[in-house]
Every structure is written in structure tokens, then in C-alpha cells.
A and B are shown apart, each in its own frame.
Chain A
């Protein structure tokens, strides 16, 4: 009973191979950025050479993975364009020793598999000098081992996971934003001092972000005061059981390590259940503009109308960048200048400030790395410490510490703006490390808006 057709597998296999060859030969030449001659800023020092992968005489190409579409995109998709805006600004003011920065950020949809693919593409095909500000804990964990094996600088990861500080295993990886353990300690310390003896409840995301935050809180707040610990999974938008449990435990203060959407859900559900504790929220989940917008749109979906600014009023949080409302601050003035010049369509919110501030730090490090830097030179530059920039507290960077910003101030949201309360506080990630006021005034932004070499 043999079949009459005989083509199948061999033919098919042959065609598949042909297809692969075609695909392989198709587009293997990466788009090279137009190499416009840089303005005559290379008057001093040695000639500019292609000193490392991704560096030519005229350009520095760096890459990143960002959630530009998908669940994590709202808000976070502003960060990379904001960083790029700052790089454009630097490029049009002489670049880094005359070289222009080419920032290629690819969409990973916050899916670790895709992160792996796009980062392989950036490193193996596009030959980037470094990966800058890759966003997300689960996503970036997928590529940190690869980047370190390939000896590609992996700088200023956009996540507060303490895991980036592992100089022994991951010498090429550096954190940037205030890590969640330090943040938990600073918030916990404030609550402990100002709400003595009150019943405290925790609300947190059930991953590294929430867990690290709770770890920091537990270093400061006595166990006996904590009446409820409720976690949520970002995939499940019903937080009524958690809020009901917090209410049943008579929590008077709720400390929340949540992303903005879940801060909003926590608030709206509390409103529905007539539960009105004092709320304290971590920096990532409390950007007043983002939060107010979410509160109003979620309420609208549920057929209700709320005022976002009224609901965010009085939330205790912390900030490691200057408050956006403080136009007299030289850094905020710089951020606003970049924003109005390059990003007029985006709201001027915490995400934009974050993107610009991280980009500034990268430019700082690149200037310090020298005229013709190798990849190792960038690490050496950061390991030698970076001067304090847009953040209110200094960086921790050293050969043995790859954490970034070391402190923050406590802030309270008033009329949609963060109002600083008390001094900037700095601390370490240890259970017993003291929390001390950092009294040195923040250096003001350079008039040119570009760090000096």
C-alpha cells in the first residue's frame, strides 16, 4: 500500500535549508549610522580611534531592551526616548570627545525570551559597546549571564533589584536606581518614627521587587507592629481579598511596594471597602502624575468618577531624584529644557526624568573612561566612583559595590506634586546599617547641561 507521492521529506528538507540560507544572507549587514564628521572638538589629545567594539572614530553605539509594547509599556515606554533625547542633546553639543552616541533600544515586550533574542542581536550583530539601562528584573536576569560571559558592559540596569550588585560573579553589571532594600529601610524608618505603636500592614508585589522592599522594611519596623502582609500577583487585577484582609487586621498604616497600576487598584478597592489607612508607597509606584491618571481611568472603567489628585493627596513616599515640581532646582530646569526641546509630546513625569538622569550618568561615565576607551576602561571608570549627578544622594560605585544611588528623601504628595519632608537619608543594604541624614548640598547641574570630562 505505498503512497504514490515521493516528494515530501527530502524535497521539503532541501527547501527548508534554502530558506535558511536566504534568510541568513538576507540582512546580515547591520545598518551603519551615517558618520557625519564631528565638529572640530577633537582639537586636543590623541586621534579618535575605533578603540572597542561599538566605538568608531565618530560614534559610540549602545543598545538596550525596553518594553515598548505590552503590559509594562504604559509609562515605561517613555524612559528610553527620554534617554535618547538627552543623548541627542549631548550629540548636538560636541558629543563625547567628539563622538556621537547612537542609542539602539529594542522592544522586548517585557518577555524574557524576547529580551534574550534582542540582546543577542545587539551584541552579536549590531556590535554595541555596552547595554545601557535594560529594563526589568525578570527580563534583565535573562541576559546578565550572557553579557558577562561576552564581557559586554551592562550598565545602569533599570531595576532596583539588589541582585545587580554582584561584582564577583557579574563584574560587568551595574545597578543605578535606589535599590529596593535601601528604599524599604528609609521608608520603614520614617513610618516607625512617625507612627509609633500604630498597626502596620504590608501590600507588595510577590516578586523580587516586593520581597526586597519588605526585607528593607523588616530591618526597621518591629515584627510585633505588623498586623498583615498581603501580596499580589501582577497578573491578577482583583486585590479585594488582600484589601479586605488588611482591613480585617485593622491596619492603620499600609506600606505598599507596588507598581503604579496596583497602587491605583489598592486605593480604589480601599475606597470601595470604606477602608482609609495612611498610605505609604515606594517610589516606583507613586509617581503622582502617572498615579492620578491611572486612578481616574480605572475609576472611569468601573463607571465611577474620582479626582486623581484628591486621592493621591497625603501619600507618603520617597524620591531619589529632585521633585519635579521644584523648578528652581537646576537639574529639574535641565530636564525641562531637554523635555521641551526633544520630547514635547510626552508628559513631563517621573519616567522622563528617570530616562534623562540615567543617560546623564552614562555620559558622566563615558567622559571618565577616556578619549579612546576599551570596554574595560568603562568598568574602571565606574569602579573608581562617579561624582554625584542628578540624584539627591551619592552613588555607591566601587570595585566591590555595584549598587547605584544610596539614598532618598521622604516626600508627601500634595496637589499632584511631591513635597520633600526632611533631609536626604542615606544608608546601606545591611540589616543593622544606620540611616543617616546626608547634609552635603546636591551639586547643581552644569550650565552646559553636560558633565565635564
Chain B
């Protein structure tokens, strides 16, 4: 039942996206592809934090793992794209599994610290083994538009199609997972670990599973980002990337897949839009280059003040007939007891 509904929704979105990509210009197609790449990574992260109650400040590292895996497979083995994406998700999952084993023993700030360390340390591996990973200049990733689309077909539209398809499949799988038994177990674990354990849940296993699922999404998201931007290099997977996907998850509304979409839209469109506005109003370059950063901060503060449960939470409060209990977006990270299951009701 649920699966059918999710599939139906995905199909609807796919049709609308198809029409949209055919109508907009090549740069909008490129931005849609960017959004799809971020959505994939952010969706995994929002589940990790919002559902299982664990935090990761280092998701950029898993994205790097997926991106490098994709680049190496495309470069040396010339795998077909769908296999490359699957493999990069597996690579991300493997990395997440390893960290998850450690994460199962860590809580709160200690877990945050461990993931942070990963985000800082991992990119330097690329410098250390420059022969394989191309060092500071990285590896270039190019995909070709299939011949049957014709020579005049805009490459960025093909990019948008590929990335949106991958993102939609990810979202459907995540939606099902979140709605099913695993999702319920994660919520139980998040809300009260001791109660969950007493109910017979295998806490360590669930925690690791959450990390595996989430980093598989990050790995795929990283691979999509690599394909979109044509390059993987250490400079693209800095701590700033980890922070921005985390910000997108919180901004959109933790634990909510729609929130992941909102957050990613903000991540991609706000900086470009603000730069355009700033330059067209004749601001000096020194000012206009800093305006997007300031604007991003303002958006962040405004959303947190007006909609403490993220954009999706805010919309639900504005549009929905039943107002769910207002709660901070980081609610999931606090141990609040079983009561917060109620707040969860509308989220997914």
C-alpha cells in the first residue's frame, strides 16, 4: 500500500520534472541537477539525525568516498552509469558501516567529534596518494550524453534527468524504510534508548544500520555531485560542504524528506540569486561577494526563529489543519522521552 503510494508520487514528480527540464534553460537544468545531488545526500542525513537520533558533522567525507569511487570506476573501468552510482552508494555504505561500528559506542558531542575528524582528515588522503587520487587537482569526471538523444540535446538536461532519477529512487526507498519497521525502530531508539532496548531492539545494530543507510545516500549524492561538477578533488569536499548539508537538513526540517528538498533548494538557489541581485544593483565586488554569505546567514536565522522545526515544519504549521507540537529542530538530538513520538506524526 505505502509502496504503491510512494511510487505513484515519485512517478508524478518524475513527469513534472521531465516537463520542467524540457522547458527551462540549460543553466536551470544544471541547477536542478545540483539540487538533485544535494537532495540525495541531505535526505540520508536528515534520516540519520531526525529518525535515529545520531549526528554526523562529517557527511562530506562519505560524499567524497562515493565521488572518488565513481570517478575511479568511470576513469579506469568505464562502467555504465547506473552501475557506477550503485557502486558509489555501496562504497559510501561501507565507509559508513566502519564509522557506524565506532559510532554505536559514541554519543552526542563525542559522535559529532568523531565525524568531524573524518571530514577534516579524509580529503588529505587524496593528497597523500596523489598517484591514485590525482592529489590536489583531483580527477576529472565526464559523462557523455547518449547518442540516441541527438547531438543538439543539451548536456545539462541529460545531467538533470540522470540525477533526478537517482534522487527520486533514493527518496522512494527512504520513504519506505522510514515508514516501515526499521523507521519505527529508529524512532523508538531515538526517543528512549533504554526503553527501546528493554523492548528487545538491538540498539547497536540499529545505530550502525542508520549510519550505513545514511552514508550510502551520501556516497550516491557525492557521485552525483561529481558527475554534475565534472570533478572530484579535495577542495570540493571540505568541512564547509559537510556543514552545508547539515545546515540544509536542519533548515528543511530534520527527519523530513520534503525538508531535504527545501534545504537543498535553499543551498543551491539562494547564493546564485543573491549574487545576481547584488551585482545587478552595482555593489562593489568586495561587497557583492560577501552578500550571499550574509544572506545565507539571514535565511538561516529567520527560518530558525520563525519555524524552529524547519521549513517543512513551518509549512505544515501554516497549511495543515492540525498543528503538531512546536519543537526545536534539534529535538531529535535531545533525549526527550517517548512524548516526542507525537511530534513525529506528521514528519516523513
Contact = CB atoms under 8 A, between A and B. Distances in A.
B236 A113 contact: yes
Nearest to B264: A16
Interface in A98-153: 104-107, 110-113, 116-117, 120-121, 124-125, 137-139, 141-143, 145-146, 149
A10 B14 CA distance: 12
Interface of chain A, main secondary structure: helix
A120 B289 contact: no
Nearest to A149: B155
A235 interface: yes
A121 B27 contact: yes
A14 B28 contact: no
Q: Which of A30, A84, A125 has the most CB of B within 10 A?
A: A125
A290 to B, nearest CB: 18
Given A27-B273, A112-B229, A138 B137 contact: yes
B140 A19 contact: no
B344 to A, nearest CB: 10
A50 interface: no
B257 A12 contact: yes
Nearest to A136: B235
Interface in B23-54: 23-28, 30-32, 34-35
Interface in A7-24: 7-10, 12-17, 19-21, 23-24
A28 B28 CA distance: 8
A4 B30 CA distance: 38
A31 B12 contact: no
Contacts of B146: none
Contact of A124 (B9, B25, B261): B25
B280 interface: yes
Interface string B269-299: 1001101100110000110011011000000
Interface of chain B, main secondary structure: helix
A40 interface: no
A27 B25 CA distance: 11
Nearest to B237: A113
A145 B230 contact: yes
B261 A117 contact: no
Contacts, number: 166
B285 A68 contact: yes
A17 B138 contact: no
Contact of A81 (B241, B273, B285, B315): B285
A194 interface: no
Contacts of A3: 345
A9 B260 CA distance: 12
B235 A7 contact: no
Contacts of B13: 13-14, 16-17
B346 interface: yes
A374 B123 CA distance: 42
Contact of A111 (B20, B27, B238, B256): B238
A16 B175 CA distance: 15
A81 B225 CA distance: 31
A59 B119 CA distance: 45
B348 A106 contact: no
Contacts of A13: 9-10, 12-13, 258
A26 interface: yes
A141 B273 contact: no
B311 to A, nearest CB: 10
B240 interface: yes
B228 interface: yes
Given A23-B269, A107-B275, A113-B225, A120 B27 contact: yes
24 contacts: A8-B348, A9-B6, A9-B258, A13-B9, A13-B13, A15-B315, A16-B13, A17-B13, A20-B265, A28-B28, A68-B285, A80-B285, A81-B286, A106-B275, A124-B27, A124-B30, A138-B137, A139-B235, A141-B233, A142-B231, A206-B130, A208-B135, A208-B137, A233-B124
The 5 closest A-B pairs by CB, nearest first: A12-B258, A68-B289, A207-B136, A31-B280, A116-B229
Interface of A: 3-5, 7-10, 12-17, 19-21, 23-24, 26-28, 30-31, 68-69, 77, 80-81, 84, 104-107, 110-113, 116-117, 120-121, 124-125, 137-139, 141-143, 145-146, 149, 206-208, 233, 235
